[in-house]
């Protein structure tokens, strides 16, 4: 993350310098003309087309050779030849001017300069997604979790009847006075379903009462809190928010949904399933357990919590920072 803070500004500073069509030197343009003449019998060849394109783009106003004569520091200068005093003495022949030194580095730079914008654009495409994820979600794990929650939301809206009311990312107060976040809650005449979403990748090992589960991806392995035990706090907060009696509290169902990136390697309870199976799990409950009046009261309290989400979210974050 730290390297991105320095990489992007450098790319943005240097990219304007490379976006112009730099003109080649006269020597480079002569070489390109020779290349075009050489491959002219093959007008469809890549060498001919590339040389012709480079010449058209970068030899419109070629950079002239410098007027300053080339000085070779490792060779001593020859003494000046005296001019003839009379017509009978022949004038010395003019010495041939030294040939201009060919700069291979400059030629290579001029050849690669047109491709610098494409290189910078490619690097930006690699860096920008990571920066956006870091700015919007903080880290990759939160981004993957948000994507899994969004996937479940689409499936629930599509597959559940209209009578079911669906809430996302509810911040609720517990009986102990602290706040907790519920990923998804479905309010239906057949029960209240509190859903915890996980987007782990790899093999999942765990049991219902085991405090920690394990995820293994290739040779990497780490443990995480049993999501069923984690969701118990969420279900308790829902019961407290809705003031449910002891009898009605049993109608609050805990569900844990994993993405398809996970693979269960041990037998798990029925309320642990994949995201694509959550709607079918909810629809297997067909016995009405709440009256219309109870559902209206529950919906009013949940709607109030949803409307206070911004304020409660800030308090929830302060709770972690404390």
pLDDT tens for the chain, residues 1 to 322 = 444 444 444 444 444 444 456 787 887 888 888 888 888 888 888 888 888 888 888 887 887 766 655 555 555 555 555 555 554 555 555 555 555 566 777 777 777 777 778 788 777 777 666 566 555 545 566 777 788 889 999 999 999 998 899 999 999 999 998 999 999 999 999 999 999 999 999 999 999 999 999 999 988 999 999 999 999 999 999 999 999 988 888 899 999 999 999 999 999 888 999 999 999 999 999 999 999 999 999 999 999 999 988 887 777 777 765 5
What are the φ/ψ torsions at residue 191 (nearest 5 degrees)? Answer: 145, 175
Residue 179's region, left for phi above 0, alpha for psi from -120 to 50, else beta, is: beta
All residues at 6 or more sequence positions from 127 whose CB lies less than 8 Å from its CB, including other chains: 4, 7, 8, 11
> Which residue reads 């297997």 in tokens?
284
Q: How far apart are the first and last CA of the chain?
A: 25
Give residue 117's pLDDT: 80
Q: Which residues in the chain belong to E strands, given as ranges?
A: 165-173, 179-188, 191-198, 202-205, 212-217, 220-225, 252-258, 262-264, 272-274
Give residue 65's pLDDT: 67
CA distance 188 to 287: 11
* Among the listed residues 268, 196, 261, the one whose alpha carbon sits nearest the alpha carbon of residue 227: 196
Prediction pTM value: 0.58
Domains and CATH numbers, the chain: 1-64+104-138 (no CATH), 139-321 (3.40.1350.10)
Complete DSSP assignment for 165-223? EEEEEEEEE-TTS-EEEEEEEEEETTEEEEEEEE---EEEE--TT-SEEEEEETTEEEE
> Which residue reads 């050489």 in tokens?
38
Give residue 312's pLDDT: 79
């Amino acid at each position: 993350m730290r390297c991105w803070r320095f990489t992007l500004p450098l790319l943005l500073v240097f990219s304007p310098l490379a976006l112009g069509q730099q003109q080649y030197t006269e020597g480079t343009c002569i070489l390109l003309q020779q290349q075009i003449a050489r491959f002219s019998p093959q007008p469809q060849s890549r060498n001919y087309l590339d040389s012709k394109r480079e010449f058209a783009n970068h030899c419109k106003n070629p950079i002239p050779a410098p007027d300053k004569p080339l000085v070779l520091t490792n060779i001593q200068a020859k003494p000046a030849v005296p001019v003839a005093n009379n017509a009978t003495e022949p004038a010395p022949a003019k010495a041939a001017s030294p040939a201009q030194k060919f700069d291979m580095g400059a030629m290579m730079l001029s050849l690669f300069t047109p491709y610098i914008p494409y290189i910078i654009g490619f690097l930006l495409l690699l860096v920008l997604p990571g920066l956006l994820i870091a700015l919007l979600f903080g880290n990759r794990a939160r981004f993957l979790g948000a994507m899994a929650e969004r996937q479940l939301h689409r499936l629930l809206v599509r597959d559940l009847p209209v009578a079911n009311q669906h809430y996302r990312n509810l911040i609720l107060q517990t009986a102990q006075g602290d706040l907790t976040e519920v990923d998804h809650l479905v309010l239906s005449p057949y029960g209240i379903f509190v859903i915890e979403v996980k987007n782990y990748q790899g093999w999942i090992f765990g049991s219902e009462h085991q405090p920690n589960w394990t995820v293994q991806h290739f040779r990497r392995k780490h443990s995480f809190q049993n999501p069923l035990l984690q969701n118990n706090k969420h279900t308790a907060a829902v019961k407290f928010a809705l003031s449910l009696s002891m009898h009605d509290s049993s109608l609050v169902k805990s569900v844990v949904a994993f993405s398809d990136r996970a693979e269960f390697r041990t037998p798990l309870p029925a309320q642990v399933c994949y995201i694509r199976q959550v709607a079918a799990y909810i629809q297997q409950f067909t016995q009405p357990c709440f009256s219309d009046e109870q559902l209206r009261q529950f919906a009013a309290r949940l709607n109030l919590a949803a409307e206070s989400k911004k304020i409660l979210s800030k308090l929830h974050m302060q709770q972690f920072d404390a």
